[in-house]
């Protein structure tokens, strides 16, 4: 009995062949496609090489840009030379120059706060460089009486804008400490007093709390007193050879060279400690006088021509070397005294 050909037994249609080539395609899509429908198979990936090459080109372009910028930046900094440090045109130029305004107002105050009815024209002439055109030559003073002021110092600046500000100064007149408020205008690099000033009371002194009484090593203080008396005597006179006898080995201190004379060691505060201490000493200096006139029997001597005294506080670092104390350093005292 002849066997039939396998082809004859299991013929494949065109649709069957297409379905076998895409086994994962849903059956509904296969059924819905007729013989004339176009083939839409899955992308196998071979056609995506252009995306890979495009990504590589972009990546290499970024690397080239980074390398070029990294090499160019230090080269430009090296070749362009040092940065310009002189005056530059910037937003800072438009700000109000407070320091210069304070200097201007300070000079003005030295003229404005000092007047004498005996010399009004002199004051008017000295005021002119500070006043605007057409201003009162005496700037509010009626030409009568007198005023004297000194110790004029800047106190603060209130900036009202790029061209205007109010400078406050502190000054001393007699036994009073006062403030002077001066409005100024700035233009084209110059200043002018833009309105009449105002005298104000100065703030009262700050309250000072009383510190606690420090601990004292009286035994060491008594031991130090003779050494300190010799030290301050030489310190005042300027006898360098004698002074070095009281100064620690390896240290050198300057002296008054005769500007004062030593009178007394009023107090010594020595805290407990070891061979190095920071102590406080209250010293009474003799203030030299000028030529003292011979007083007549009925006349009293002029106090201004007599030698006086001045009490001051010092902080010293002392060190014991052997059986004696020596001075390593001297400076102004803080608040270590009770």
Q: Are 164 and 96 in contact (CB under 8 A)?
A: yes
Element (DSSP H or E) covering residue 53: helix 49-79
CA distances from 10 to 284, 303, 323 (A): 133, 145, 127
Position 68 scores a pLDDT of 67
Position 79 scores a pLDDT of 54
For tokens 């003779």, the residue is 226
Q: What is the pLDDT along the chain (338 residues), one digit of tens a residue?
A: 444 444 444 444 444 444 444 444 445 444 444 444 445 545 454 556 777 777 787 887 778 777 767 666 655 665 554 444 444 433 444 589 999 999 999 999 999 999 999 999 999 999 999 999 999 999 999 999 999 999 999 999 999 999 999 999 999 999 999 999 999 999 999 999 999 999 999 999 999 888 888 899 999 999 999 999 999 999 999 999 999 999 999 999 999 999 999 999 999 999 999 999 999 999 999 987 754 444 444 445 555 566 789 999 999 999 999 989 999 999 998 865 54
Tokens of 211: 């510190």
CA distances from 91 to 85, 94, 165, 213 (A): 16, 5, 18, 55
Cα(330)–Cα(253) distance, integer angstroms:
8
Position 213 scores a pLDDT of 84
**Three-class DSSP category at 305:** helix
Position 279 scores a pLDDT of 95
Cα(215)–Cα(193) distance, integer angstroms:
56
Q: Write down all domains in the chain, each with its CATH number in brackets.
A: 96-201 (3.10.450.540), 218-289+305-332 (3.10.450.540)
Position 64 scores a pLDDT of 77
Rounded to 5 degrees, what angle do the CA atoms 317, 263, 237 make? Answer: 70
CA distances from 205 to 177, 202, 315, 323 (A): 11, 9, 25, 46
Q: What residues contact 2, with CB distance under 8 A and at least 6 apart?
A: none
**Rg of the chain, C-alpha, whole Å:** 47
Position 131 scores a pLDDT of 97
- DSSP letter at 114 equals -
Cα(223)–Cα(275) distance, integer angstroms:
13
Size of the chain in residues? 338
């Amino acid at each position: 009995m002849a066997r039939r050909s396998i082809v004859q037994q299991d013929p494949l249609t065109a649709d069957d062949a297409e379905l076998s080539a895409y086994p994962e395609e849903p059956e509904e899509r296969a059924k819905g496609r007729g013989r004339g429908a176009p083939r839409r198979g899955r992308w196998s990936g071979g056609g995506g090489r252009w995306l890979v090459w495009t990504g590589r080109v972009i990546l290499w372009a970024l690397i080239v840009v980074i390398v070029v910028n990294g090499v160019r930046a230090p080269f430009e900094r090296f070749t362009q030379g040092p940065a310009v440090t002189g005056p530059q045109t910037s937003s800072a130029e438009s700000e109000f120059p407070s320091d210069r305004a304070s200097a201007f107002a300070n000079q003005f105050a030295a003229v404005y706060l000092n007047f004498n009815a005996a010399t009004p024209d002199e004051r008017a002439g000295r005021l002119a460089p500070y006043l605007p055109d057409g201003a009162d030559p005496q700037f509010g003073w009626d030409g009568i009486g007198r005023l004297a002021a000194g110790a004029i110092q800047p106190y603060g600046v209130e900036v009202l804008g790029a061209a205007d500000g109010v400078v406050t100064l502190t000054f001393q007149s007699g036994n009073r400490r006062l403030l002077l408020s001066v409005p100024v205008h700035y233009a084209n690099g110059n200043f002018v007093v833009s309105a009449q000033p105002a005298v104000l009371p100065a703030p009262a002194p700050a309250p000072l709390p009383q510190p606690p009484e420090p601990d004292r090593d009286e035994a060491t203080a008594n031991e130090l007193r003779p050494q300190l008396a010799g030290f301050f005597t030489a310190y005042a006179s300027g006898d360098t050879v004698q002074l070095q006898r009281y100064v620690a080995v390896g240290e050198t201190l300057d002296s008054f060279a005769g500007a004062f004379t030593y009178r007394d060691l009023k107090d010594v505060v020595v805290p407990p400690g070891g061979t190095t201490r920071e102590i406080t000493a209250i010293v009474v200096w003799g203030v030299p006088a000028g030529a003292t006139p011979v007083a007549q029997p009925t006349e009293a001597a002029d106090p201004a021509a007599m030698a006086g005294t001045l009490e001051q506080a010092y902080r010293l670092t002392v060190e014991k070397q052997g059986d004696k104390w020596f001075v390593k350093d001297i400076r102004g005292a803080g608040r270590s005294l009770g």
